[in-house]
Amino acid sequence: MKKISIFICMIILIFVFACLEYYFRSFEIADGVKIKRMVDGNYYIIYRGRKVGGVVTAVDSWYIHQHYIHGSTTIKNTSDNIIYFIIDVCSKEVYQTEYSSKFYSYLEEKNIPKDQIGNYMSGDNIVDMRTHKNKYSYEYKCP
């Protein structure tokens, strides 16, 4: 009887840990750039151990251009306020701002294609990135 109860406890523990792992799982987009579900239930961009931008929702999208990942996130899940970000995975530089004009100027300095500047409704969103992970696990060459 004792062996059965220990077995049942082990099965329950395995199930609980599997659920927790699934719930808090992260997936990598590029070298060191991950999307992770946090304790509050929202997804965030994590780069080199720190959060970048705000909450990643299904309407937020971004582009991957060479070694740059750039786009927008929202400050809170129900907020209209946007945080724009760009991550350079080669120089490990992160730039983020709430001001679109500053952000667009910064993108132009980095020679980001004009069709990707200010057009974040046509980029890829979290749903695309979760279902087509291999598309974003690309090899890039740093200059």
Domain spans in the chain, listed from the N-terminal domain onward: 26-133
pLDDT score of 127 more than 70 = no
Instruction: Output the furthest CA–CA distance in the chain (Å, rounded).
Output: 71
pLDDT score of 103 more than 70 = yes
Q: Which of 140, 132, 139, 123 is nearest to 27 (CA)?
A: 132
pTM: 0.71
Q: Supply the DSSP string of the chain, one letter for each residue.
A: -HHHHHHHHHHHHHHHHHHHHHHT-EEEEETTEEEEE-TTS-EEEEETTEEEEEEE-TT-EEEEETTEEEEEEESSTT---EEEEEEETTTTEEEEES-HHHHHHHHHHTT--GGGSS-TTSSEEHHHHHH-HHHH-------
Choose from 16-30, 76-90, 128-142 the range with maximum mean pLDDT.
76-90
